[in-house]
Structure formats: structure tokens, C-alpha cells
Amino acid sequence: MTITAIVPDRPRHPALDGLVAQLQDLLGPRCTSAASEREHHGHGESYHPTQAPDVVCYALTTEEVSRILALCHAAKVPVVPFGGGTSLEGHVAALQGGVCVDLSRMTGIVRVNAEDLDCTVEAGVRRKQLNEYLRDTGLFFPVDPGADATIGGMAATRASGTNAVRYGTMKDNVLALTVVLADGTVVKTGGRARKSSAGYDLTRLFVGSEGTLGIITEVTLRLFGIPEASAVAVCSFPDVEAAVSCAIETIQCGIPVARVELVDETCIRAINTYNNLSYPETTTLFIEFHGTADGVAQQAAMMSAIAEGHGGSGWREAASAEERTKLWQARHNLHYALLGLRPGSSSWGTDTCVPISQLATCIGEIRRHAKDAPFPVVALGHVGDGNFHMGFHIRMDSPEEIREAERLNTLLVERAIDLGGTCTGEHGLGYGKVKFLRREYGDEAVAVMRQIKQALDPDNLMNPGKVLPD
């Protein structure tokens, strides 16, 4: 991916020099204004250009985050939180400069309560790190967005992923949070009980707030038992519509699949090239089943019959755990595999979600509109829950391609909303999709969101320019 560093044409904040001196007294070398550090913290993993902060602070504890925010609040300097840098809608871009608070070094696993199926971790713990730690307990954390994101970042963006059809998204699996507010106040939003009727649901308020209401420093998560048996299957289809129809019927029949991933023919070609594989280059479903050995076999047989009825062919199951891992790793590497098909391009990845009955309609319409696009257009997604992605692989130095990608993206989002869906199923709004919030919720709901923002961050210091439209 080509990312161009941008130095915003903005005046330097008058309080910044004094603030930096205070932050350096607090953090020492963990407070830096080095150009390379600032550039690294000014972008995620998408087409959005770099907009660098003025200074980067590496925090190690909730107390340090609290003190950093208290200093920034006193100086009225904006703050942008940073986790793994894997976001896709410009969440970490410092639109007004200011201080980037990097939580990637907060990697402590605070506690695991195996009997209660939960754990508490610091915000910088990564998904793979957590599951590696949990392996000997017989438990795992199922939310899998593909990237090895931090748990704090996944909570902040209300992440989802390949397992959501069976295990839910971050909003379903976060029990409690520790959050630092704009003025440095530390708030705990809940406990470890699986349900509560006490007061407002602050946990759900902060899950998906994208750092605009506070910085998440600890997360308490639901865990699940590692299934007794699992099976992975691959099946080819004549076109996207047939594959989507198969996925829809499978869900409607109540078959409890763990994952149903769609990749079109271009995606399969990229997967083969990038991973030295040899799948048939046609629209394909990757499917995973969890349960008992007999249950998994029964689920696979039922879905195989459904697939055959939709023109599916070449149903084949992974023969070993190694083969299963290799298959899903190929799927997770798809972002980079697709970039390799067009060197020098950037990925404009969409992530709408619609009711599953409307999935084939929405994908088919947009594919027809995109057939003459001057750049590669791909379709993929977690089709078991109606969440899909159209990927536009554009050259950022081509105004024509940027305009066409913008047109297709707007068309897709508006059509998804008209069908009862959402502009973002899992990537979040960042600043890339802010303009669609009113279209989806209406002025009245956005006004309520503004009141919440005003109450918690009256000076608009927390990740300004994200989530709420100007």
C-alpha cells in the first residue's frame, strides 16, 4: 500500500511546547516528537492519507493515561488514542494535530477467571497473544477481525469478524471497561456479572465510541470453551449470487456454522498467488463448523447438500489442523494479497451490513454498477451475518479513480441503508464515513449523540473529527 505523508497546513497549538515539556517530565523518552514516530502514528491500514500528531506518548498504566489526559485537558490540546494501527477509516489520523497516546505497550493480562469464562486484559493486548495465553485453560476469545488488532482498539471500534455469526461481535463479548475521560477521570463501567439492570449501560456506550468519549485502558471479556471438534470446508460456486444464496439458506435452516466467508474469483486468484495455493479460481465459500464430532459431521453434511442445490461443487474438507490454519491464514492475508495484484495501489475497503435476506440483492446491484470501473473491484465478507466488503484497489495519484471509488462507495452505503442495513458493519466510522451518520440515523438521533459528546468532552479534545459530523 502506498501511503503519502501529509504535513497539515495548520498553526502550531500555542500551548504545545509547554505541554510537551510536562509530558517529557512524566514519561521521559516515552514521549517523542521524532518524525518517523509521528508518521507511523498518523495512519491506519487503508487509503486514508497520513495526518501525523505533534507528539507521541507511550503509556504503560491507566494512571499514566489519566495523567497524560489531565495535562492535555488543562492545555486544551487534542488527544488521539492508538492501538495496533490496523483500523480502516482514518480513526488514528490526527486531524487537528496534538498528542497521540499509544497503548500498545499495555500488554498485561490482569486476570483469567476460567470458572466464570471471563478475563480482564490491558488495552494493548493483541488478539493472538490472548488466545495463546488462554490455550492451556481450554478457553478462547472468538472475535476475529482478521488483523492481529489490540483488544482495546477492537472494543473502541466495536469490531467483528469471521466468527461473529456464531459468537457475536465486541458489543456482545465485552462485560466491563476501564475508561479514562477527557479530564483524566478514571471510570469503571461494569462488573463480571453476565447481566445487570443497574443504571445506564456505560459499557455499550464506550464500545464503538472510537476514542471520542474517552480512552479504554482495560477490558473484561467473555470467553468460550474451545470446541470439542471443528471442521473447515471449501466449496466453489458459479457466481457470487449462488454462494450468497447458499449462505443465507444455511443460516435460515438453523445450521450453527461458526464462520461463513465469501471470496469472489479475483480474491481467490490473489489468495493463490500470495500463498502459493491452487484453489479453483471461482467464487468460493470458506466454512467452519464447531461442536461435537458427530455434530460437526452432521452440520457439514447438511450444508453440503444445500450448497449442491445452489450449484456448489468441489466440496472438500481440510484434513488436518495444519491445513485448517493454513486456509484461514490465507483468508486473513487477503488484504495484502489483493494489494499485490496491483502494486502501488491503496485499498478502499467498504463494510456495509444488511439483513441477510437482502444480501444477494445488495451485492449484485453494486457489482453491476462497478463492472466498468477503471480499477479492480472485489467482493468478500462474513456473509453469515449479512456483513460484506467491496474492495476498490485504486491509485491515489489518479483523481479519476478516486472519484469513481467515492461514487461507488456512496452508492453502496445508501443502498445498504435503504435495505435496512448500516454504513459500517465492523470497521467503524472514523472520519471516512462520518458523512453517512445522518443518513442512517436521522438528525434527532445525531443530536442526542452530540449531547453525550458535549457532556463527556465539552472541549472536543478526544479524537476530534471522528464519528460525529461537523
CA-based radius of gyration for the chain: 22
Q: What is the pLDDT of residues 408-447, one digit of tens each?
A: 999 999 999 999 999 999 999 999 999 999 999 999 999 9
- Using alpha carbons, select from 231, 233, 227, 232 the residue that is nearest to residue 291: 227
Report d(CA 78, CA 249) in Å as an integer: 48
pLDDT at 7: 47
Instruction: Specify whether 164 is located in the same domain as 257.
Output: no
Q: What is the mean pLDDT of residues 267-289?
A: 94
Residues 6+ apart with CB under 8 A from 127: 141, 143, 144, 145, 148, 149, 150, 151, 154
Mean pLDDT over 271-287 rounds to 93
Report if residue 358 sits inside a domain.
no
Split at pLDDT 50, 70, 90, the class of 341 is confident
Q: pLDDT class for 8, splitting at 50, 70, 90?
A: low
Establish if 326 belongs to a structural domain. yes
pLDDT digits 0-9 by tens, 75-114:
999 999 999 999 999 999 999 999 999 999 999 999 999 9
Using one digit for the tens of pLDDT, what is the confidence trace for 28-62?
999 999 999 999 999 998 888 999 999 999 999 99
Mean pLDDT of all residues in 13-32:
95
Contacts of 52 (CB under 8 A, 6+ apart): 5, 6, 7, 38, 39, 41, 42, 94, 97
Q: What is the pLDDT of residue 326?
A: 86
Looking at the predicted structure, is the pLDDT value of residue 3 above 70?
Answer: no
Q: What is the pLDDT of residues 149-201, one digit of tens each?
A: 999 999 999 999 889 999 999 999 999 999 999 999 999 999 999 899 999 99
Shared domain check, 138 and 232:
no
The domain of 138 spans 109-225
Flag whether pLDDT at 459 surpasses 60: yes
pLDDT computed for residue 1 by the predictor: 39
Spatial CA neighbour of 179 closest among 214, 150, 137:
214
pTM for the structure as a whole: 0.93
Average pLDDT of the chain, as a whole number: 94
Does some domain include residue 86?
A: yes
Same domain, 233 and 265: yes
Confidence of residue 288 (pLDDT cuts 50, 70, 90): very high
- CATH code of the domain covering residue 308: 3.30.70.2190
CATH of the domain at 201: 3.30.465.10
Per residue, the 3-state secondary structure of the chain, as one string, reads CCCCEECCCCCCCCCHHHHHHHHHHHHHHHEECCHHHHHHCCCCCCCCCEECCCEEEECCCHHHHHHHHHHHHHHCCCEEEECCCCCCCCCCCCCCCCEEEECCCCCCEEEEEHHHCEEEEECCCEHHHHHHHHHHHCEECCCCCCCCCEHHHHHHCCCCCCCHHHHCCHHHHEEEEEEECCCCCEEECCCCCCCCCCCCCHHHHHCCCCCCCCEEEEEEEECEECCCEEEEEEEECCCHHHHHHHHHHHHHCCCCEEEEEEECHHHHHHHHHHHCCCCCCCCEEEEEEEECHHHHHHHHHHHHHHHHHCCCEEEEECCCHHHHHHHHHHHHCHHHHHHHHCCCCEEEECCCECCHHHHHHHHHHHHHHCCCCCCCEEEEEEHHHCEEEEEEEECCCCHHHHHHHHHHHHHHHHHHHHCCCECCCCCCCCCCCHHHHHHHHCHHHHHHHHHHHHHHCCCCCECCCCCCCC
Q: What is the mean pLDDT of residues 354-379?
A: 93
Q: What is the pLDDT of residues 210-262, one digit of tens each?
A: 999 999 999 999 999 999 999 999 999 999 999 999 999 999 999 999 999 99
Domain boundary among 184, 200, 225: 225
The verdict on 261 and 322 lying in the same domain is yes
Assess whether 124 and 96 both reside in one domain. Answer: no
pLDDT at 323: 86
How many whole angstroms separate alpha carbon 323 and alpha carbon 321? 5
Query: Domain tally for the chain?
Result: 3
Number of alpha carbons in the 13 Å side-chain half-sphere of residue 8: 19
For residue 450, being part of any structural domain is answered with no
Any domain includes 440: no
Residues 99-109: tens digit of each pLDDT:
999 999 999 99
Is 318 in contact with 231 (CB distance < 8 Å)?
yes
Q: How far is residue 439's CA from residue 415's CA, in Å, rounded to a whole number?
A: 11
Q: Are residues 287 and 336 in the same domain?
A: yes
Low-confidence winner among 329-333, 342-346, 358-362 (lowest mean pLDDT)? 329-333
Same domain? For 51 and 97 the reply is yes
Last residue of a domain, one of 225, 257, 287: 225
